[in-house]
């Protein structure tokens, strides 16, 4: 280390903490120790979950799982896999346009007071327990609106879970775009809408996409709102979006583990494995998106 | 007009830009106290009793000045004196800040800014260049043509304009093979010239410059200054700068602002050599040292 002190230095720059160095070193080691310990704990827990899902789920993995629907407590998972995809896709039809447009409105166009009101409402919605949303879906959509247990009722319930999430990430992505880009566009005579649509959106898009992918992975893992709204079906999903119950993967995990049969347990673990794999793929996509960013930025 | 300004008669207007430049070089080492056709120039921006507020805070206090067409006017003064707010009021950018309001009359190209209905068309006529280069996150060509595309200019025409404007800012030769590349690989000076070309593409008549060279090295700064001087032959330029030497080099007139007021508005030469107001003298002398 360079020990020289500049001749013009206004005060003595030699280290003043020598006296405490022993104590400092011990403190430092202790903190590092605690940090490492907690990190190890987290990693171990995740590994434990992953390993037990893999160990118990992989034996049940075969082509028949994808090719046949469940029958009672045996069979494959085709109906549940397709049902999950239908539910997610349908819920995104509702929550993506609403959430993204809402987020853009809050970030770019809403007057400050309205924006903070919308943000507050969105946070409240995000804080509602999913089982309550499920029950609301049951009372209002399934019973009152006469949808019955159905793909539509399930998808709308899922959309209510993911909507505030998409609003928040979109809002954050658009707010983070430096004002200079917006100003540059406005100064050329673009309308605020033009500026947001072309220049600002380009910079916010990766963040928005990340939010949507994470919202999808949240929706994938939801069970509570679907129990009351989607029901369960041993058949593949059809084009009938109301009055026809629909199967989904988390139901298999939740219900079949309680059955006293090995074939049911096997299906539950395989369903869990599929969910974990899909969520992992989504998170890898998110990472790639974040690393890639947009072209020309 | 002060006696040590170099007065040139009206024939000068007929000179080509190249000849003008040559003449400039012969004259005072880049100083442009050359008075060209003074009498024929009219005021393109007229400010009468302009006061401006952000909420309850007053930021501009009773400004009065006339900015003449086809010349460079500089605004100098300490940070926070309101020069940027004033500049941004001229193209109504200040008005997009919540809580901003102005009193008094600001007439730009004969139109009171308070009564502008179509703000977008108005801003196309009053371009702006910012402190830091802000190319859009798209190809160099798209940077130049995006606004034109939104305004409905045909593709062929857009390409022609883009090339012409790149050429005007001296970038065409360097970039003609890289039009589809990212602008972020360019140097800061090149990026700023690209932004200038982008601003010029929508054919503004007035150009507002907000410390356009403060983030650039001296060579790029000089290059930009040359460009501004050439542009001032056919358009009006208002520049905010902290670089007094820059104001001296390029501006025909300079306004010194302090605490939201215009302290002095004079020909650049007079302001720097014989300031009338003691505040101007202190600022100018301290800054130059």
From residue A10, alpha-carbon distances to A2, A3, A14, A16, A17 in Å are 18, 16, 12, 15, 19
- Rounded Cα distance between B18 and B193, Å, is 20
| Contact (CB<8Å) B136/A202 | yes
Strand partners, B57: B54
Same domain (yes/no): B78, B150? yes
ipTM at complex level: 0.79
- Name which of A4-8, A21-25, A106-110, A281-285 the model is least confident about: A4-8
Same domain (yes/no): B177, B269? yes
Q: Of B83, B89, B93, B91, which is closest to residue B102 (Cα–Cα)?
A: B89
CATH of the domain at B145: 3.40.50.300
Same domain (yes/no): B31, B47? no
Mean pLDDT rounded to a whole number for chain A? 88
Q: Is A243 exposed, middle or buried (0-12, 13-18, 19+ CB in 10 A)?
A: middle
Same domain (yes/no): B53, B35? no
- Asked whether A226 and A248 are in contact (CB, 8 A), the reply is yes
What is the DSSP-derived secondary structure letter of residue B213? T
Angstroms from B23 CA to nearest CA on chain A: 34
A window 171-190, beta carbon within 8 A of B: 178, 180-181, 183-190
- Rounded Cα distance between B149 and A295, Å, is 20
| Contact (CB<8Å) A185/B128 | no
Same domain (yes/no): B156, B240? yes
Q: State phi, psi for B75 to the nearest 5 degrees.
A: -115, 120
Would you state the pLDDT for residue A5? 53
Q: State phi, psi for B50 to the nearest 5 degrees.
A: -80, 120
Residues of chain A positioned with their CB less than 8 A from the CB of B121: 189
Q: What is the pLDDT of residues A78-100, one digit of tens each?
A: 999 999 999 999 999 999 999 99
- pLDDT confidence band for A14 (50 / 70 / 90): low
Helix (H) or strand (E) holding B17: helix B17-26
More confident residue, A32 or B285: A32
Would you state the pLDDT for residue A286? 85
Greatest C-alpha distance within chain A: 86
Residues of chain B positioned with their CB less than 8 A from the CB of A111: 98
* Angle subtended at Cα A213 by Cα A208 and Cα A216, rounded to the nearest 5 degrees: 125
Angstroms from B131 CA to nearest CA on chain A: 9
Q: State phi, psi for B180 to the nearest 5 degrees.
A: -100, 5
pTM: 0.79
pLDDT higher than 60, residue A2: no
Strand partners, A42: none
The SS3 of residue B38 is: helix
- Rounded Cα distance between A251 and A232, Å, is 8
Host domain of residue B81: 41-288
Same domain (yes/no): B61, B19? no
- Name which of A2-11, A29-38, B262-271 the model is least confident about: A2-11
Two tokens at B27? 């004259």
Would you state the pLDDT for residue A20? 66
Going from N- to C-terminal start, the domains of chain A cover 78-249
- Asked whether A233 and A245 are in contact (CB, 8 A), the reply is yes
Average pLDDT over residues A5-25: 64
- Minimum-distance CB partner of A188 among B122, B132, B198: B198
| Contact (CB<8Å) A203/B150 | no
Query: Pairing state of beta strands B236-240 and B206-210?
Result: parallel
Find the closest chain B residue to A109 by CA distance.
B96
Quick one: angle between helices A130-137 and A151-176, nearest 10?
Answer: 130
Same domain (yes/no): B59, B102? yes
Find the closest chain B residue to A202 by CA distance.
B137
Same domain (yes/no): B231, B244? yes
CA B207 to chain centre: 5
| Contact (CB<8Å) B202/A188 | yes
Same domain (yes/no): B34, B117? no
Same domain (yes/no): B139, B220? yes
The SS3 of residue A3 is: coil
Q: State phi, psi for B57 to the nearest 5 degrees.
A: -85, 125
**Torsion angle, CA of A66/A69/A70/A71, rounded to 10 degrees?**
-140
Query: Pairing state of beta strands B57-68 and B236-240?
Result: unpaired
| Contact (CB<8Å) A183/B98 | no
Residues of chain A positioned with their CB less than 8 A from the CB of B91: 187
Average pLDDT over residues A13-28: 73
| Contact (CB<8Å) A184/B150 | no
Structurally, at CATH architecture level, domain A78-249 sits in: Orthogonal Bundle (1.10)
Two tokens at A66? 């994808």
| Contact (CB<8Å) B138/A296 | yes
Same domain (yes/no): B230, B143? yes
DSSP string, B150-212: HTT--HHHHHHHHHHHHHHTT-HHHHTT-TTS-GGGS-HHHHHHHHHHHHHHT--SEEEEEST
Same domain (yes/no): B9, B138? no
- Return per-residue pLDDT of chain B as tens, 289 residues: 444 444 444 444 566 666 666 666 655 454 444 444 455 678 888 999 999 999 889 999 999 999 988 999 999 988 888 889 999 999 999 988 888 999 999 999 888 888 888 888 899 999 999 999 999 999 999 999 999 999 988 999 999 999 999 998 888 888 889 899 999 999 888 999 999 999 999 999 999 999 998 888 888 899 889 999 999 999 999 999 988 889 999 999 999 999 899 999 989 988 888 888 889 888 888 765 4
Count of domains forming chain B = 2
Would you state the pLDDT for residue B98? 85
Two tokens at B215? 């983030």
- pLDDT confidence band for A19 (50 / 70 / 90): low
Residue A196 forms contact with B (CB below 8 Å) = no
């Amino acid at each position: 280390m360079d020990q020289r002190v500049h001749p013009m230095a206004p005060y003595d720059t030699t280290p003043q903490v020598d006296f405490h160095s022993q104590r400092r070193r011990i403190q430092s080691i202790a903190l590092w120790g605690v940090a490492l310990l907690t990190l190890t704990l987290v990693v171990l827990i995740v590994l434990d979950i992953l390993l037990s899902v893999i160990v118990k789920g992989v034996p049940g993995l075969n082509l028949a799982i994808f090719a046949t629907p469940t029958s009672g407590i045996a069979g494959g998972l085709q109906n549940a896999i397709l049902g999950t995809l239908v539910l997610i896709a349908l819920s995104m039809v509702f929550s993506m346009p609403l959430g993204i447009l809402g987020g853009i409105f809050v970030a770019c166009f809403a007057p400050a007071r309205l924006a903070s009101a919308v943000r507050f409402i969105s946070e409240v919605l995000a804080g509602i327990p999913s089982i309550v949303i499920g029950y609301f879906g049951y009372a209002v959509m399934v019973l009152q609106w006469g949808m019955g247990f159905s793909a539509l009722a399930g998808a709308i319930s899922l959309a209510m879970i993911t909507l505030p999430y998409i609003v928040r990430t979109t809002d954050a992505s658009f707010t983070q775009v430096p004002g200079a880009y917006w100003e540059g566009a406005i100064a050329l005579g673009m309308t605020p809408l033009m500026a947001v649509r072309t220049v600002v959106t380009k910079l916010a898009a990766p963040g928005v996409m990340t939010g949507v992918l994470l919202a999808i992975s949240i929706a994938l893992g939801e069970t509570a709102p679907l129990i009351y709204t989607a029901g369960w079906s041993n058949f593949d999903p059809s084009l009938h979006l109301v009055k026809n119950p629909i199967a989904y993967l988390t139901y298999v995990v939740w219900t079949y583990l309680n059955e006293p049969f090995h074939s049911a347990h096997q299906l539950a673990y395989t369903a869990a494995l599929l969910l974990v794999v899909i969520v992992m793929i989504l998170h890898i996509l998110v990472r790639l998106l974040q690393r890639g960013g947009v072209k020309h930025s | 007009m002060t006696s040590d300004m170099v007065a040139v008669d009206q024939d000068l207007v007929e000179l080509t830009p190249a000849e003008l430049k040559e003449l400039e070089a012969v004259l005072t080492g880049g100083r442009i106290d050359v008075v060209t056709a003074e009498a024929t120039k009219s005021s393109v921006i007229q400010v009468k009793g302009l006061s401006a507020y952000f909420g309850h805070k007053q930021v501009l206090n009773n400004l009065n000045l006339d900015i003449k067409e086809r010349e460079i006017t500089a605004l100098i003064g300490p940070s926070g004196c309101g020069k940027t707010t004033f500049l941004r009021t001229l193209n109504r950018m200040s008005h997009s800040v919540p809580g901003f309001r102005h009193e008094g009359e600001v007439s730009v190209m004969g139109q009171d800014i308070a009564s502008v209905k179509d703000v977008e068309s108005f801003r196309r006529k009053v371009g702006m260049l910012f402190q830091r280069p802000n190319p859009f996150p798209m190809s160099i060509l798209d940077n130049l043509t995006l606004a034109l595309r939104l305004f409905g200019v045909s593709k062929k025409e857009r390409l022609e304009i883009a090339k012409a404007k790149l050429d005007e800012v001296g970038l065409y030769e360097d970039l003609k093979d890289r039009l589809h590349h990212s602008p972020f690989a360019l140097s800061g000076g090149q990026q700023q010239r690209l932004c200038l070309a982008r601003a010029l593409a929508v054919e503004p008549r007035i150009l507002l410059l907000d410390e356009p060279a403060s983030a650039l090295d001296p060579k790029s700064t000089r290059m930009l200054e040359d460009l501004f001087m050439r542009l001032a032959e056919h358009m009006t330029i208002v520049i905010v700068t902290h670089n007094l030497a820059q104001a001296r080099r390029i501006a025909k007139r300079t306004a010194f602002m302090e605490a939201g007021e215009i302290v002095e508005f004079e020909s650049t030469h007079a302001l720097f050599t014989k300031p009338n107001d003691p505040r101007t003298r202190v600022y100018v002398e301290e800054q130059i040292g």
